[in-house]
Structure 1
Amino acid sequence: MKIIAIQKSALDGMKNELEALLELTENATRKYSPIFKGEQWLDNQEVCLMMSITKRTLQTYKDKGLLPYSRLNRKNYYKRSDVQALLETGHPYNINDDGFTDE
């Protein structure tokens, strides 16, 4: 183990810079938290695992407007609450073009 000795003033300077960086980070996070409102966002893989569906089925849900999503940097994200709502209503497996299920 190495022991490095530095002056107290240098240590205090580093501490102050780290505290300033932490404050900047917290301010940035606070600025965007109203956008998310505590909502958890899931990616394609997480939604497929949660719903036990394939990527193709997920694409069909998106195409039919059954599952809203947001796109960020060419990647789709889904609100956990929207996925939960779709799970609670049941999987619309065989969906016609008119939006009704085949039974």
Structure 2
Amino acid sequence: MEVIAIQKSILDGMKNELKTLLELTENATRKYTPIFKEEQWLDNQEVCLMMKITKRTLQTYKDKGLLPYSKLNRKNYYKLSDVRALLETGLPYNTNDNGFTNQ
């Protein structure tokens, strides 16, 4: 076992720096906390499983503006309420470019 000895003043300085870093992190995330507490967010895979669609169909819904999404760190997230609303509209799964169904 290795023992490292440092001066108490240096240790106290490190503690203070860590405490400051923790406060900065808490302050930075505090403004986003209400957003995530109010609403459940789903990623691409969860939406595809819930709607029983492919990733390509999901991309089409995004491209056409049928399903709003938010991007965080290059990953898309969808509000559960938006996904449920789209499901409740009974949106056909096979639509062509103009939005009409192929019947």
Is the TM value for this pair above 0.5?
A: yes
- AA aligned to 2:3 is I
Q: 1:60-98 CA distances to partner (integer Å, 9 max, x unpaired)?
A: 222343211234566543223212333455553233666
Tell me, in whole angstroms, the C-alpha distance in 1 between the residues paired with 2:101 and 2:49: 23
1:1-103 pair list within 5 angstroms: 1-33=1-33, 36=35, 38=37, 39-71=39-71, 75-90=75-90, 92-95=92-95, 99=99
Q: Secondary structure at the match of 2:16?
A: helix
Ranges in structure 2 where 5+ consecutive residues have no aligned partner: none
**Could you tell me how far apart the structure 2 residues matched to 1:8 and 1:58 are?**
57
The count of aligned residue pairs is: 102
Q: Which stretch of structure 1 is more off in the superposition, 68-77 or 10-19?
A: 68-77
TM-score with structure 1 length normalisation?
Answer: 0.67
Where do 5+ consecutive residues of structure 1 fail to align?
none
Give the Cα–Cα distance (whole angstroms) in 2 for the partners of residues 99 and 74 of structure 1: 28
Please report the TM-score for the alignment, with normalisation by the length of structure 2. Answer: 0.67
Q: Which whole-Å CA distance do the structure 2 matches of 1:2 and 1:84 have between them?
A: 57
Q: CA RMSD in A?
A: 3.1
Q: 1:6 to 1:93 in 2, by over 3 A?
A: same
